[in-house]
Amino acid sequence: MRNPALKVNLSFEAQDELLNIWQYNARRDGTTRADRYDDFLRKGIDKLATNHKFAKVVEVMPELRYVTLKRRSKGDGHVIVFSVGSAIDVLHVFHTKQDWPNKL
């Protein structure tokens, strides 16, 4: 039996972080690539509605979960930090090179 989908909410911080990621990528690689990467991140976030049970526990805050999204197995990506209740609340989107546990 399939788990029902939960609603996915983005905090203001997560929305701002996604915008900053898009702006960085647009400056670096152009708007088309920035749009593609934004779409990749948002689709990964949307999948949390049904696949959140595969997430890992944030050691410094066990009430939170995270997943890492990467386009390629090698290289950088982004860490999506969220809580699970009656909905998925996405709190932050951090770059994998950031010391993100200490930013929570």
Can you list the domains of the chain with their CATH numbers? 7-103 (3.30.2310.20)
Residue ranges in the chain whose pLDDT is less than 50 = none
CB atoms within 10 A of CB 12: 7
Q: Are 96 and 81 in contact (CB under 8 A)?
A: no
Residue 73 CB contacts under 8 Å (≥ 6 apart), including other chains: none
The H-or-E segment that residue 94 falls in is strand 87-95
Q: Which structure tokens are listed for 24?
A: 């960085």
Residue 5 CB contacts under 8 Å (≥ 6 apart), including other chains: 49, 50
Whole-model pTM: value is: 0.93
Q: What are phi and psi of 87, to 5 degrees?
A: -145, 170
The confidence score (pLDDT) of residue 2 equals: 61
Map residue 32 onto helix, strand or coil.
Answer: helix
The confidence score (pLDDT) of residue 4 equals: 76
Cα–Cα distances in angstroms (integers) from residue 20 to residues 39, 47, 97, in the given order: 14, 22, 16
The confidence score (pLDDT) of residue 35 equals: 98
